[in-house]
């Protein structure tokens, strides 16, 4: 695809980032390349500052990480699917990734999920890396309405939540569209295999997942006007299962909420976490 623009939020770099971007802008002078100063509030708010920036306009938007390599078919596949969706319906495309080393040599693939990509899943799991996400203007407007100061841990998970919670649609492509380089500076690293599942369960019991859930619920309750009645009901039931003192009541509210993760082992971990009030 040739009709693209690049918008960068520099969140306080001290290396050659600005020089690299200036050279890139000169090389691609026929494309719009703009650099903004970031809010310096962490990577999630840095991305939100861009997606909520009224000076940036387009029909479709894609998150990009500076150390990842997009496959040539990524934008074409994403736009083809997005164009099949009514333009007034929030729509999000995402996909698997191919994990590679610093020389782009294959290591593994991210998980292939088969259960529906809906709000019941989004409330407790993010199924795709932000570097695979492409979304339409209706989804972008949702993010703008929710605001750039939303206190959320991950911008990509928040995007998945908002789109599905507002009655939009998400398409998870089982074919990878991004080479995800693994190196010492990766923030999250590889998300594949049983070791990764066990690692997520460990983080769940360490309390990180519980803290993220708390922030998500607060943020979602602040934008209830954007959400469907079904999404609000699930949030309420999930919130109750987190705070109910009785085990039976917690389990009942959890089952009523209908939330789920994509794999058996992480769903099992979710239920065990309810027993120990780690959710």
The pLDDT tens digits of the residues spanning 215-258 come to 999 999 999 999 999 999 999 999 999 998 899 999 999 999 99
Q: Which is more confidently placed, 204 or 139?
A: 139
Mean pLDDT of 46-62: 97
| Summary mean pLDDT of the chain | 92
Q: What is the pLDDT of residue 65?
A: 87
Percent of the chain at pLDDT above 70? 92
Model confidence at 187, pLDDT cuts 50, 70, 90, reads very low
Least confident of 54-63, 187-196, 254-263: 187-196
- What pLDDT score does 12 carry? 85
Residue 242 confidence (pLDDT) = 93
Q: Is 35's pLDDT higher than 80?
A: yes
Asked whether residue 188 carries a pLDDT value surpassing 70, the answer given is: no
Determine which of 102-111, 205-214, 237-246 has the lowest per-residue pLDDT on average.
Answer: 205-214
38 or 190, which is more confident: 38
What average pLDDT does range 121-137 have in this prediction? 97
Q: Is the pLDDT of residue 6 over 80?
A: yes
For residue 197, pLDDT over 70 is answered with no
| Structure confidence at residue 95 (pLDDT) | 98
* Full-model pTM: 0.92
**Which tokens hold the place of 188?**
């999250």
Q: With cut-offs at 50, 70 and 90, classify the pLDDT of residue 266.
A: confident
Residue 66 has pLDDT above 90, yes or no: no
The reported pLDDT for the residue numbered 269 is 86
At 193 the pLDDT is: 56
Query: What percent of the chain clears pLDDT 90, i.e. is strictly above it?
Result: 78
Q: Is the pLDDT of residue 198 over 90?
A: no
């Amino acid at each position: 695809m040739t009709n693209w623009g690049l918008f960068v939020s520099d969140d306080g770099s001290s290396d050659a980032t600005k020089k690299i971007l200036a050279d890139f802008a000169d090389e691609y002078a026929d494309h719009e390349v703009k650099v903004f100063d970031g809010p310096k509030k962490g990577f999630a708010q840095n991305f939100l500052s861009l997606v909520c920036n009224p000076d940036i306009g387009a029909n479709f938007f894609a998150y990009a990480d500076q150390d990842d390599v997009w496959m040539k078919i990524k934008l074409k596949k994403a736009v083809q699917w997005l164009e099949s969706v009514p333009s007034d319906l929030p729509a999000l495309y995402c996909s698997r990734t191919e994990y590679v080393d610093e020389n782009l040599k294959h290591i593994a693939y991210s998980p292939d999920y088969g259960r529906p990509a809906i709000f019941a899943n989004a409330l407790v799991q993010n199924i795709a890396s932000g570097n695979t996400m492409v979304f339409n203007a209706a989804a972008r407007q949702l993010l703008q309405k929710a605001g750039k100061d939303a206190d959320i841990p991950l911008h990509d998970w928040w995007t998945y939540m908002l789109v599905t919670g507002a009655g939009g649609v998400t398409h998870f492509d089982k074919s990878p569209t991004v080479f995800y380089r693994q190196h010492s500076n990766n923030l999250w690293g590889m998300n594949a295999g049983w070791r990764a599942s066990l690692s997520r369960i460990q983080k769940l019991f360490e309390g990180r997942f519980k803290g993220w859930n708390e922030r998500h619920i607060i943020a979602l309750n602040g934008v209830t006007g954007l959400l469907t009645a079904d999404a609000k009901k699930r949030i309420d039931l999930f919130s109750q299962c987190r705070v109910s003192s009785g085990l039976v009541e917690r389990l009942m509210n959890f089952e009523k909420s209908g939330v789920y993760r994509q794999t058996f082992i992480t769903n099992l971990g979710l239920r065990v976490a309810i027993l120990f009030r780690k959710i």
